[in-house]
C-alpha cells in the first residue's frame, strides 16, 4: 500500500510534527528529507518531511501538501535521525531543530493575498447591480471587482494601492467580505540589490541635508561605512528604519551605490596566492597521524582526543587526516569555535583540497551565500566543510571524519533553542555515519579528558611544541605582596610595568589580557553604597568613558552618566574596578612612546575592525595590544615575548562550577600566545589569590595535575562528568507568574527524586532579572542520563497540560552557562 500521508516538521516552537496528506500528483516526489510548502493556520509554511506513513491521523480535517520545493531532498535519512536525536536529547521542539538544520529559505517569498468570501461575492453583485453608490461603495466595488475580474486572489499590497484601497480593504475585511491568506511563492531570480556608501559622495542636498532625514542618512552612513559594509537593501531598511524612498533618492544623488548580487568577497580573499607552509611532520605528529589513518581505514566509529599543547602543530595533523578521509572516498567536516578561525582554516583547506571542493559555513554569511554554500555541499560539489557550531548539520554524504578544534570552547553550545552542543552532536553524528570524530585541544574539557582516560575515547598526545620551542615560562605576581611593598594599587603592578618596559626597549611585542571591557565595573554612590543598576536586569551597569554612559553588558541598555545618585541624590559617585578601556588609557600615560592598540567588543564590533587591529599587531605596527578574551585564543604571533594577565580573579568569582576550569583554560591559552616564534616568551599573571589551584597549575602549565584536582572536586560535588546535569529556568515579566509557575514545576518534579534525580530549587537565578524578566532556576542532577531525560520530558508535558506558556519554561540539558 502506498503512503498517503507524511509527517512534517514546521519551524514552530512546538513539540510535535504535523501530518499532511500527499496529493496524488505528488505521490512520486514527496520523500523523507524534502522540503515542502504546506498550509498552516492560514499561513503558508515551509517544512521538511520526516517520514511517510499510510496511517491516517485521528483528526478529520487533514490538509494537503501544496508543493515540493527542491528536486533533491534537503536532508539525508541520517540527518533526519540526527535531528530526532537532538530533539529527544535536548528536549527541544522538533520544528526548531529542523529549522536549524535546513538551509536559509531564499527560494521562497511569503505573500499575503485577498480572497473574496461568499458574502463578498454577494455584496459585489449587489453593488454592481445598483445604480447609485456612495464614494465608499465605489471604492469597495473597485477592489472587489479587481479580485473578481482576475478570477483569483490578488496580492494585498497591490489591492491596497488602488485609490482608497487601504481603507476599503480594512472595511471589507472587517465585514467578512474579504479574507487574507498567506501563500509561498518561488523567487524568480536569486539576485538581490546591494547598497553601499559612496566614499566620495557629493555633499547632501535638499531634503536629506537637515532634520530627521539627515539623521537617518547619518545612520545609513554609519552602518554602511563603519559598522557593516555594503548590505542588501532589505537589511539596510530593517536595520536603520530608513524609508525606501529616501534610499532611492540617495542612490539617485550618488550618495549611495548599488549593484545586484552580493560579492563573494570572502572567497576572493581565499584565492589570493596563498601557499600554505610546507611542514615536515615531527615524530609526535607522525604518530598521531598514523593512528588516525588507522581508524579511518578501519571505517568504524571512533572518537579520538588529540591533546596537544599550544603550538604543537595540531592543524597539520588535521590536514593529513582530512587527506586520508578524502582518499578513501569519504568527506570531512572541520568545526571551529569562532568565525575568525573559519577564515584561516578554510584558507588552508582550500589550498590543500582544491579538487575536492571546500565550503565554509557560518552564521556571518548572508543568507544567499550560506544557501549557496549549503547546496554546493548537498550536491557533492564540496567534500570538505569548515564551519562553526551549526555546520555540524552540513549535508555531507558519506561523512568519514569530523574534527572539533578547541573542543572545550563554550561557543559550541547554542544558547538559544535548540540548545545543542556542537561537539557532542558531532560525536553522535560520527556514530550514525560510522565515522571518526577527532576532538582536539591544548586544554581539553574535563568531560572529554575523563572519557579519554577511561578508554571511551582514544587519546593522542602532542607533548612538545614544534621544533622543540620551549613553552613560555609563567610567573605569578602576588598583588597582596605588591601592595604591601609599594602601598600603591596602580593600573598594573610594578613587576609587570618593569617587564613591559624591558620588552619595549628590546623592540619586541607585548600582549595584555584583561577580563572586562569598558572603563569601570561599577558606578558606586559614596553615601549610600548603591551601584547604578540596569533597568531591565539585576546587574550593575558598566561605565564606558568614550561613550560617556553606563551600559548593561547583558541587554544593551544604556544611559548617560548620572550626576547624582538615583537612590539618595548624593553627588559623590565614584567608579570602581578597571576595564580594558581604562587600562589602555593608563598604559598610554605610563608608556607614552609605545604604539598601543585595544581589542574588545567595543573596538572590534565588526569583522573588519577586528582584522584591522589584529593585522596591525601581527605586522608589527603596534608594540602593545590590550584586549579581552578575544586576544587569548588561536592567534599565531611570532614576535610576542611577554604576555601579561591583568586582574585574573574576576572569572574565579562567578557562580559557576566551571569557573576554575575556565580560568585554567584562559591562562593556558593566553600563555600559548607567547614565544611562538624564534624568541622565547614569558607570562606574568597578576592575582590576589596566588594559591588558587587553577592559577598554580596554569602557572606550571600542568594540565594533568589540574585535571586530577578538578575531577576530584567534580566527583565530590556530583557534577559532570559524574552526573548528567540540566537546568530549568522559569521566566516572566510578572514576578507573580514566575513564582506561581515555579511552584507548579516544583510539584511536577517532586516524583523524580524517587527515580534518583536530584532536584535543586527553585531559587532565584544568579541573574535574577534579565531583560525585564524575573527568573527562577532549578538544577537537576542524575547519575543516570535516561532518568534525567524522562523527568524533563514529563515535566514539560505537565507544564503544557497546566497551560504554562512554552516560552516561560526554558530547559537546558548539559548547560554551559548557569547564569
Residues that bind ligand ADP (CB under 6 A): 277, 279-282, 285, 308, 310-316, 466-467, 636
Four-point Cα dihedral 269, 629, 419, 389, nearest 10? 20
Q: How far is the CB of 529 from Zn ion (least distance, A)?
A: 7
Are 614 and 620 in contact by the 8 Å Cβ rule? The answer is no
Work out what residue 311 binds among ligand ADP, Zn ion, none; the CB cut-off runs from 5 to 8 Å by kind.
ligand ADP
Work out what residue 557 binds among Zn ion, ligand ADP, none; the CB cut-off runs from 5 to 8 Å by kind.
Zn ion
Work out what residue 580 binds among Zn ion, ligand ADP, none; the CB cut-off runs from 5 to 8 Å by kind.
none
Nearer to Zn ion, 550 or 809 (CB): 550
Q: How many CB atoms lie within 10 A of CB 578?
A: 22
Nearer to ligand ADP, 313 or 444 (CB): 313
Work out what residue 604 binds among ligand ADP, Zn ion, none; the CB cut-off runs from 5 to 8 Å by kind.
none
Nearer to ligand ADP, 336 or 809 (CB): 336
Residues with Cβ within 8 Å of 459's Cβ and at least 6 positions away in sequence, in order, are 304, 305, 307, 452, 453
Q: Are strands 542-544 and 43-53 parallel, antiparallel or unpaired?
A: unpaired
Work out what residue 235 binds among Zn ion, ligand ADP, none; the CB cut-off runs from 5 to 8 Å by kind.
none
Task: Determine the Cα–Cα distance for residues 269 and 301; give it in Å rounded to an integer.
Answer: 36
Nearer to ligand ADP, 3 or 282 (CB): 282
Q: How far is the CB of 676 from ligand ADP (least distance, A)?
A: 7
Q: How far is the CB of 542 from Zn ion (least distance, A)?
A: 10
Work out what residue 467 binds among ligand ADP, Zn ion, none; the CB cut-off runs from 5 to 8 Å by kind.
ligand ADP
Nearer to Zn ion, 279 or 570 (CB): 570
Q: How far is the CB of 337 from ligand ADP (least distance, A)?
A: 12
Work out what residue 641 binds among ligand ADP, Zn ion, none; the CB cut-off runs from 5 to 8 Å by kind.
none
Nearer to ligand ADP, 137 or 636 (CB): 636
Look up cell 531598511; give the residue.
237
Run of H or E including 39: strand 35-40
Work out what residue 237 binds among Zn ion, ligand ADP, none; the CB cut-off runs from 5 to 8 Å by kind.
none
Q: How far is the CB of 554 from Zn ion (least distance, A)?
A: 5
Q: How far is the CB of 743 from Zn ion (least distance, A)?
A: 27
DSSP conformational letter for 460: E
Nearer to Zn ion, 573 or 726 (CB): 573
Nearer to ligand ADP, 73 or 669 (CB): 669
> What is the side-by-side order of every strand in the sheet holding 773-782?
758-770, 773-782, 724-732, 809-813
Work out what residue 552 binds among ligand ADP, Zn ion, none; the CB cut-off runs from 5 to 8 Å by kind.
Zn ion
User: Which residues bind to Zn ion, rule: CB under 5 A?
Assistant: 525, 527-528, 534, 536-537, 552, 554-555, 557, 565, 567-568, 570
DSSP conformational letter for 278: -
Q: How far is CA 768 from CA 71, 398, 730, 818, in A?
A: 50, 47, 11, 12
Nearer to ligand ADP, 138 or 466 (CB): 466
Beta bridge partner(s), residue 687: 478
Task: Determine the Cα–Cα distance for residues 19 and 29; give it in Å rounded to an integer.
Answer: 17
DSSP assignment of 279-305 equals PPP-HHHHHHHHHHHHHHHHTS-EEEE
Q: How far is the CB of 575 from Zn ion (least distance, A)?
A: 14
Are 636 and 676 in contact by the 8 Å Cβ rule? The answer is yes
Task: Determine the Cα–Cα distance for residues 262 and 230; give it in Å rounded to an integer.
Answer: 9
Q: How far is the CB of 672 from ligand ADP (least distance, A)?
A: 6
Task: Determine the Cα–Cα distance for residues 351 and 407; give it in Å rounded to an integer.
Answer: 24
Nearer to ligand ADP, 278 or 716 (CB): 278
Nearer to Zn ion, 40 or 554 (CB): 554
Say how many CA atoms lie within 13 Å of 527 toward its Cβ: 10
Nearer to Zn ion, 531 or 746 (CB): 531
Q: How far is CA 642 from CA 625, 635, 677, in A?
A: 11, 15, 12
Q: How far is the CB of 257 from ligand ADP (least distance, A)?
A: 39
Work out what residue 87 binds among Zn ion, ligand ADP, none; the CB cut-off runs from 5 to 8 Å by kind.
none
Say how many CA atoms lie within 13 Å of 669 toward its Cβ: 21
Q: How far is the CB of 312 from ligand ADP (least distance, A)?
A: 4
Are 313 and 466 in contact by the 8 Å Cβ rule? The answer is yes
Are 486 and 601 in contact by the 8 Å Cβ rule? The answer is no
Nearer to ligand ADP, 282 or 527 (CB): 282
Are 748 and 814 in contact by the 8 Å Cβ rule? The answer is no
Work out what residue 314 binds among Zn ion, ligand ADP, none; the CB cut-off runs from 5 to 8 Å by kind.
ligand ADP
DSSP conformational letter for 283: H
Q: How far is the CB of 538 from Zn ion (least distance, A)?
A: 9
Residues with Cβ within 8 Å of 780's Cβ and at least 6 positions away in sequence, in order, are 725, 726, 727, 728, 749, 752, 757, 758, 759, 760, 788, 791, 792
Nearer to Zn ion, 29 or 817 (CB): 817
Q: How far is the CB of 56 from ligand ADP (least distance, A)?
A: 56
Task: Determine the Cα–Cα distance for residues 203 and 254; give it in Å rounded to an integer.
Answer: 10
Q: How far is the CB of 80 from ligand ADP (least distance, A)?
A: 35
Chain Cα centroid distance, residue 746: 31
Are 778 and 728 in contact by the 8 Å Cβ rule? The answer is yes
Work out what residue 434 binds among ligand ADP, Zn ion, none; the CB cut-off runs from 5 to 8 Å by kind.
none
Q: How far is the CB of 819 from Zn ion (least distance, A)?
A: 12
Run of H or E including 373: helix 367-378
Task: Determine the Cα–Cα distance for residues 90 and 281; give it in Å rounded to an integer.
Answer: 40
Work out what residue 636 binds among Zn ion, ligand ADP, none; the CB cut-off runs from 5 to 8 Å by kind.
ligand ADP
Work out what residue 282 binds among ligand ADP, Zn ion, none; the CB cut-off runs from 5 to 8 Å by kind.
ligand ADP
Task: Please give the residue whose beta carbon sits closest to ligand ADP in the complex.
Answer: 313
Instruction: Retrieve residue 545's grid coordinates.
Output: 568613558
Q: How wide is the angle at C-alpha 510 spanned by C-alphas 509 and 516, nearest 5°? A: 150
Nearer to ligand ADP, 673 or 731 (CB): 673
Q: How far is the CB of 818 from Zn ion (least distance, A)?
A: 18
User: Terminal CA-to-CA distance of the chain, rounded, Å?
Assistant: 53
Q: Using CA of residue 147, residue 153, residue 154, residue 156, what is the dihedral sign?
A: positive
Instruction: Retrieve residue 387's grid coordinates.
Output: 564551519
Task: Determine the Cα–Cα distance for residues 386 and 22; give it in Å rounded to an integer.
Answer: 37
Instruction: Retrieve residue 461's grid coordinates.
Output: 598526545
Q: How far is the CB of 314 from ligand ADP (least distance, A)?
A: 4
Work out what residue 277 binds among ligand ADP, Zn ion, none; the CB cut-off runs from 5 to 8 Å by kind.
ligand ADP
Nearer to Zn ion, 194 or 525 (CB): 525
Work out what residue 459 binds among ligand ADP, Zn ion, none; the CB cut-off runs from 5 to 8 Å by kind.
none
Amino acid at each position: 500500500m502506498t503512503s498517503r500521508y507524511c509527517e512534517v516538521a514546521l519551524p514552530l516552537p512546538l513539540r510535535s510534527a504535523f501530518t499532511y496528506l500527499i496529493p496524488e500528483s505528488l505521490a512520486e516526489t514527496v520523500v523523507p528529507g524534502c522540503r515542502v510548502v504546506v498550509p498552516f493556520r492560514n499561513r503558508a509554511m515551509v517544512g521538511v518531511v520526516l517520514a511517510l506513513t499510510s496511517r491516517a491521523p485521528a483528526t478529520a480535517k487533514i490538509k494537503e501538501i501544496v508543493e515540493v520545493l527542491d528536486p533533491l531532498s534537503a536532508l539525508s535519512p541520517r540527518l533526519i535521525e540526527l535531528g530526532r536525536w537532538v530533539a529527544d536529547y535536548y528536549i527541544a521542539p522538533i520544528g526548531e531543530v529542523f529549522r536549524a538544520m535546513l538551509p536559509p529559505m531564499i527560494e521562497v517569498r511569503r505573500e499575503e493575498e485577498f480572497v473574496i468570501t461568499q458574502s463578498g461575492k454577494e455584496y459585489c453583485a449587489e453593488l454592481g447591480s445598483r445604480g447609485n453608490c456612495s464614494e465608499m461603495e465605489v471604492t469597495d466595488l473597485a477592489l472587489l471587482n479587481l479580485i473578481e475580474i482576475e478570477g483569483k486572489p490578488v496580492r494585498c499590497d497591490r489591492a491596497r494601492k488602488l485609490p482608497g484601497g487601504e481603507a476599503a480593504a480594512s472595511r471589507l475585511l472587517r465585514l467578512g467580505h474579504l479574507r487574507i491568506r498567506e501563500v509561498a511563492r518561488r523567487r524568480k531570480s536569486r539576485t538581490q540589490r546591494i547598497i553601499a556608501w559612496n566614499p566620495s559622495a557629493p555633499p547632501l542636498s535638499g531634503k536629506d541635508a537637515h532634520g530627521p532625514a539627515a539623521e537617518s542618512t547619518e545612520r545609513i552612513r554609519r552602518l554602511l561605512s563603519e559598522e557593516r559594509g555594503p548590505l542588501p537593501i532589505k537589511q539596510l531598511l530593517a536595520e536603520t528604519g530608513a524609508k525606501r524612498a529616501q534610499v532611492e533618492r540617495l542612490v539617485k544623488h550618488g550618495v549611495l551605490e548599488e549593484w545586484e548580487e552580493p560579492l563573494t568577497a570572502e572567497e576572493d580573499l581565499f584565492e589570493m596566492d596563498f601557499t600554505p607552509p610546507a611542514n615536515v611532520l615531527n615524530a609526535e605528529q607522525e604518530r598521531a597521524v598514523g593512528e588516525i589513518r588507522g581508524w579511518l581505514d578501519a571505517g568504524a566509529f571512533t572518537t579520538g582526543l588529540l591533546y596537544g599543547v599550544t603550538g604543537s602543530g595540531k592543524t597539520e595533523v588535521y590536514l593529513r587526516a582530512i587527506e586520508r578521509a578524502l582518499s578513501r572516498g569519504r568527506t570531512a567536516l572541520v568545526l571551529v569555535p569562532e568565525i575568525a578561525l573559519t577564515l584561516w582554516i578554510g584558507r588552508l583547506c582550500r589550498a590543500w583540497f582544491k579538487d575536492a571542493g571546500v565550503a565554509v559555513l557560518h552564521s556571518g554569511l548572508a543568507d544567499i551565500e550560506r544557501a549557496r554554500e549549503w547546496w554546493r555541499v548537498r550536491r557533492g560539489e564540496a567534500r570538505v566543510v569548515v564551519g562553526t557550531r551549526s555546520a555540524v548539520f552540513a549535508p555531507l554524504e558519506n561523512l568519514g571524519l569530523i574534527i572539533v578544534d578547541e573542543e572545550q570552547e563554550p561557543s559550541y553550545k547554542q544558547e538559544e533553542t535548540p540548545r545543542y552542543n556542537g561537539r557532542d552532536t558531532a560525536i553522535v553524528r560520527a556514530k550514525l555515519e560510522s565515522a571518526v570524530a577527532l576532538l582536539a585541544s591544548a586544554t581539553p574539557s574535563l568531560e572529554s579528558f575523563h572519557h579519554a582516560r577511561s578508554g571511551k575515547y582514544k587519546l593522542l598526545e602532542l607533548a612538545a611544541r614544534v621544533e622543540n620551542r620551549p613553552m613560555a615560562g609563567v610567573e605569578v605576581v602576588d598583588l597582596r605582596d605588591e601592595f604591601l611593598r609599594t602601598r600603591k594599587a596602580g593600573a598594573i603592578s610594578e613587576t609587570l610595568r618593569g617587564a613591559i618596559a624591558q620588552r619595549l626597549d628590546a623592540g619586541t611585542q607585548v600582549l595584555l589580557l584583561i577580563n572586562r571591557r569598558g572603563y569601570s565595573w561599577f558606578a558606586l554612590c559614596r553615601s549610600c553604597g548603591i551601584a547604578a543598576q540596569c533597568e531591565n536586569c539585576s546587574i550593575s551597569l558598566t561605565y564606558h568613558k568614550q561613550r560617556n554612559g553606563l551600559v548593561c553588558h547583558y541587554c544593551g541598555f544604556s544611559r548617560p552618566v548620572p550626576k547624582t545618585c538615583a537612590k539618595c541624590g548624593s553627588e559623590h559617585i565614584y567608579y570602581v574596578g578597571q576595564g580594558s578601556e581604562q587600562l589602555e588609557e593608563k598604559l598610554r600615560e605610563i608608556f607614552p612612546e609605545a604604539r598601543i592598540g585595544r581589542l574588545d567588543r567595543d573596538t572590534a564590533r565588526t569583522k573588519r575592525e577586528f582584522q584591522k587591529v589584529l593585522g596591525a599587531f601581527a605586522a608589527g605596527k603596534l608594540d602593545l595590544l590590550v584586549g579581552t578574551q578575544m586576544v587569548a585564543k588561536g592567534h599565531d604571533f611570532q614576535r610576542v615575548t611577554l604576555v601579561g594577565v591583568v586582574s585574573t580573579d574576576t572569572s574565579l568569582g562567578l557562580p559557576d562550577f566551571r569557573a576554575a576550569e575556565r580560568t585554567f583554560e584562559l591562562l593556558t591559552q593566553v600563555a600559548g600566545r607567547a614565544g611562538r616564534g624564534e624568541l622565547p616568551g614569558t607570562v606574568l599573571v597578576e592575582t590576589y589569590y596566588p594559591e588558587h589551584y587553577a592559577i598554580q597549575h596554569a602557572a606550571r602549565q600542568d594540565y594533568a595535575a589540574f585535571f586530577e584536582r578538578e575531577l576530584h572536586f567534580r566527583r565530590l560535588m556530583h557534577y559532570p562528568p559524574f552526573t548528567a546535569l540540566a537546568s530549568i529556568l522559569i521566566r516572566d515579566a510578572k514576578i507573580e507568574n514566575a513564582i506561581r509557575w515555579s511552584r507548579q514545576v516544583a510539584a511536577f518534579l517532586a516524583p523524580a527524586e524517587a527515580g534518583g534525580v536530584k532536584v535543586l530549587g527553585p531559587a532565584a537565578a544568579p541573574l535574577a532579572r534579565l531583560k525585564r524578566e524575573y527568573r527562577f532556576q532549578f538544577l537537576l542532577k542524575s547519575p543516570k542520563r535516561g532518568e534525567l531525560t524522562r523527568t524533563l520530558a514529563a515535566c514539560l508535558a505537565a507544564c503544557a497540560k497546566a497551560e504554562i506558556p512554552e516560552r516561560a519554561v526554558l530547559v537546558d540539558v548539559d548547560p554551559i552557562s548557569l547564569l
